[in-house]
């Protein structure tokens, strides 16, 4: 099953960062808040991180990925639960040119 979903800027940053760093390692909550929020001049919040991850997993499930594709490791952080999945295409360079967020409905 193939389809498409829209990611806002923060969600896309989070997803790509986890694909790059969370397939072999656990990425800490603090690292995600720093890299995805603080380094993009956004106010970091554990609640917001949880919301974005929940919505990201929901959207990924619409594409046929398992609902636990991104997993919380209690007390440690987050990781990609399926290490055999490898990103084949994305443009990291475009991420830094579109800082505005698309409002979610």
Residue 54 lies in a domain: yes
pLDDT of residue 104: 40
Cβ-based neighbour number of residue 65 at 10 Å: 15
The CATH number linked to 42 is: 1.10.10.10
Look at residue 79 and tell me whether its pLDDT is greater than 50. Answer: yes
Residue 39 lies in a domain: yes
Q: Where are the alpha helices (DSSP H) in 28-95?
A: 29-32, 46-62, 92-95
Domain total in the chain:
1
Kindly report the pTM of this predicted structure: 0.77
Structural domain contains residue 36: yes
- The CA distance from 67 to 75, in Å, is 20
Is 92 contained in some domain?
no
**Confidence class of residue 64 from pLDDT cuts 50, 70 and 90?**
confident
User: At 10, which helix (H) or strand (E)?
Assistant: helix 9-21
Output the pLDDT for position 63.
87
61 within domain boundaries? yes
Instruction: Supply the range of the domain harboring residue 32.
Output: 9-82
């Amino acid at each position: 099953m193939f389809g498409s979903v829209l990611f806002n800027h923060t969600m896309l940053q989070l997803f790509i960062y986890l694909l790059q760093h969370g397939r072999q390692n656990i990425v800490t909550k603090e690292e995600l808040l720093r890299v995805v929020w603080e380094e993009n001049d956004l106010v970091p919040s554990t609640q917001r991180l949880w919301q974005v991850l929940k919505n990201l997993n929901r959207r990924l499930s619409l594409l046929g990925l398992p609902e636990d594709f991104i997993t919380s490791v209690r007390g440690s952080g987050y990781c990609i639960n399926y290490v055999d999945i490898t990103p084949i295409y994305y443009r990291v360079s475009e991420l830094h040119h579109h800082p505005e967020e698309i409002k979610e409905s």
